[in-house]
Amino acid sequence: MTGRDWAIAGGALLSIGAVWSVLYMSSGREHRCGGQDPSTPAQQTEGARPLTKAALPEVSRVPLESAHDGRIAWPLRAGVIDGSVAHQPLVVRGRVTDEEGRPLQNAEARFLRDRLPGPSGIEVKRLLTDGTGCFEWGASYAGDSIEVKAFGFVPADPVVARLGDQRLEFVLTPFGWLSAEILTATGEWPLLLLWRDGKRAPALTMEVSSGGRRRVEFRLLPAGTYSLSYRFPWSEDEGWIDGLRIELGRETRDPRLEPLDLREFLPVIALTIVDPDGRSVPEPAIWLGVRNGEDFLNVRPAPDGERWLVLGRSLRIHIEAAGFRRQELADVDSDRRIVLERGIPVRVRIVGPLPCLPSGWKLRGELSLRTFDLSTGRLASVNEPTFSLEDGEGELLVAEPGGYAFSFWIACDVGAGSFWEKPRPILEVHDGGTQQSFVLDAPSEAMVREIRAYTAKFDGIAISR
């Protein structure tokens, strides 16, 4: 380029800088952060649109063509032109509040610098607002994009730093949220999902229980129309509520959700679980599964006298209880009386000296069976209840035949620990009607040292005697 061409190009760039500064000068409410000059109007940015990069003004997007080689040269952004006033660093002060004027602490202010055309930018500084909602940075340049966002609020539209001392105020609008009261016939919580335009809508879901009322809140929702689906994981039945309108900064409380009554959604089935003598089995574990599914889900049935209430249609039910055989039922759609068969009686006797335990500690045995875990569909280790070995022997009922691994178990009111030899002793329990007895060696000296080291950690802690 000739000297004349350089002069023309330089003048054009300086003109762009002047236009840039004019385009982004505006007035707004008075800023209340430190360093405020009341005579200088503030720039206010109120935005509810999703976070986007500030677009370059059209004047700075026009390429300058070289008359000599035909190449296109993009001008640098105003504020970073060598030798111009705009190249001087700026002090940018800002304040972030909600729509009620309350300051937002820990809101994030990002400064982006972009020397290239298009939306790409390089982050040069990230700040968090203080307790008054203010932030300040003294090394910005005219043309920097400033993005502000806070958790739970719609990000404000980005602004561009202009020439001169900057005093900006960002007013953020909260996302919308939806709340509902849930009524169910048992203590089980349904699977609740929000949908928008046929797709799962991400939301922060919170379960709230207060004064016997169970509520759910869906937060961080953009404005729009949503649908709510509800079901229980072990059931194929599903319900929908459409037309839930969400507005920014407001709670949506639809009459159909105040309350969402699911007590008639699935029938209540009462299970009466007894032993062969007709006595109620205490605290059975109950798993429910769909008729054609593979997985089971552990549920919390509602007690009703000696009955246990569950929800569903054509259920598969799996029941376990300490000292009883496991039982599984299919196509359960009405009340049932279930008689559990007693487990296999097993006696374990220890040969050799038992460890001398500190006062309050008790020696027990434990059997673990590697079996099929119905809740996950995978093999897992299932522990039978521990049994006392105070006299060097103990008895228990195991639910199923199989190879059980034995371990010593010590316990008191402040701690418990399990110890075993390597390899672990295996007890092969067979499906017979008579009691089966097993003889095992007492703990080795190495295990006794481990037990003593474990109990020593609880010295000085009150132990029940």
User: Are residues 294 and 418 part of one domain?
Assistant: no
Residue 188 has pLDDT above 80, yes or no: yes
State the pLDDT at residue 353: 92
CATH number at residue 98: 2.60.40.1120
Asked if residue 83 has pLDDT above 90, the reply is no
Residue of 108, 250, 95 whose CA lies nearest to 173: 250
Predicted confidence (pLDDT) at residue 208 exceeds the cutoff of 90: no
Q: Are 23 and 101 in a shared domain?
A: yes
In a domain, 312, yes or no: yes
Gap between the Cα atoms of 75 and 85, Å rounded: 17
Q: Which of 268, 269, 401, 283 is nearest to 340 (CA)?
A: 283
Q: What is the mean pLDDT of residues 192-204?
A: 95
Q: Are 312 and 296 in contact (CB under 8 A)?
A: no
CATH number, domain of 218, equals 2.60.40
Residue 258 near residue 244, CB atoms below 8 Å: no
- pLDDT for the residue numbered 120: 61
Q: What is the tens place of the pLDDT at every residue in 352-375? A: 999 999 888 999 999 888 655 555
Boundary residue ending a domain (173, 202, 237): 173
Q: Region 268-278: what's the mean pLDDT? A: 95
292 and 419 part of one domain: no
pLDDT of 302-324, one tens digit each?
999 999 999 999 899 999 888 88
Predicted local confidence at residue 291, as pLDDT: 60
Is there a single domain that holds both residue 249 and residue 229? Answer: yes
Is 382 in the same domain as 450? yes
Residues 154 and 130 in one domain: yes
237 and 292 inside one domain: no
In a domain, 462, yes or no: no
Provide the sign of the torsion angle of the four alpha carbons 249, 255, 256, 259, taken in this order.
Answer: positive
Query: Are both 304 and 394 inside the same structural domain?
Result: no
Q: Is pLDDT at 47 greater than 70 in this prediction? A: no
Give yes or no for residue 424 having a pLDDT over 60. Answer: yes
182 & 169 share domain: no
Statement: residue 105 has pLDDT above 50: yes
| Count of domains observed in the chain | 4
Same domain, residue pair 373 and 231: no
3-state secondary structure of 267: coil
Name the nearest CA neighbour of 323 among 384, 278, 268, 240: 384
Residue 282 has pLDDT above 70, yes or no: yes
What local confidence, expressed as pLDDT, does residue 36 receive? 46
- Token readout for 188 is 């089980």
Percent of the chain whose predicted confidence (pLDDT) is above 70: 74
Of 18-32, 195-209, 324-338, the least confident = 18-32
Whether 330 shows a pLDDT value over 50: the answer reads yes
| Average pLDDT over all residues of the chain | 79
Instruction: Examine the domain organization and report whether 40 and 162 are in the same domain.
Output: yes
pLDDT: is 146 or 70 the higher one? 146
Residue that wins the pLDDT comparison between 73 and 35: 35
Q: Residue 437: give the domain boundaries.
A: 344-456
* pLDDT score of 115: 58
Q: Is the pLDDT of residue 169 over 70?
A: yes
Q: State the DSSP string of 110-168.
A: EEEE--SSSS--EEEEEEE--TTSEEEEEEE-TT-EEEEE-TTEEPPPPEE--SS-EEE
- Long-range contacts of the stretch 196-205 (C-beta < 8 A, 24+): 196/224, 196/225, 196/226, 196/227, 201/226, 203/178
pLDDT greater than 50 at residue 28? no
DSSP-derived secondary structure for 91-102: EEEEEEEETTS-
Domain assignment present for residue 43? The answer is yes
Q: Is residue 165 part of a domain?
A: yes
The answer on pLDDT for 199 being more than 90 is yes
Instruction: Please report whether residue 21 resides in a domain.
Output: yes
461 part of a folded domain: no
360 dihedral zone (left: phi>0; alpha: psi -120 to 50; beta) = left
29 pLDDT higher than 60: no
For residue 228, the one-letter residue type is L
H helices of 345-444, in order, are none
Q: Is the pLDDT of residue 81 over 50?
A: no
Per-residue model confidence (pLDDT) at position 119 = 56
Q: Is residue 28 part of a domain?
A: yes
> Last residue of some domain: 213, 244, 261?
261
Residue 463 counted as domain residue:
no
Q: How many CB atoms lie within 10 A of CB 216?
A: 19
Confidence (pLDDT) at 73: 30
Q: Mark which of 238, 261, 284 sits at the end of a domain.
A: 261
In this prediction, residue 107 carries a pLDDT of 97
Q: What is the mean pLDDT of residues 324-335?
A: 91
More reliable by pLDDT, 380 or 439 = 439
Angle (CA) 264-268-274 rounded to 5° is: 170
Separation between Cα atoms, residue 386 and residue 366, nearest integer Å? 5
**One domain for residues 238 and 284:** no
pLDDT at residue 166, as a whole number: 63
Percent of the chain at pLDDT exceeding 90: 48
> On the CB side of 218, how many CA atoms lie within 13 Å of its CA?
25
What span, in angstroms and rounded, lies between the C-alpha atoms of 178 and 203? 10
Is residue 432 a contact partner of residue 398, using CB atoms and an 8 Å limit?
no
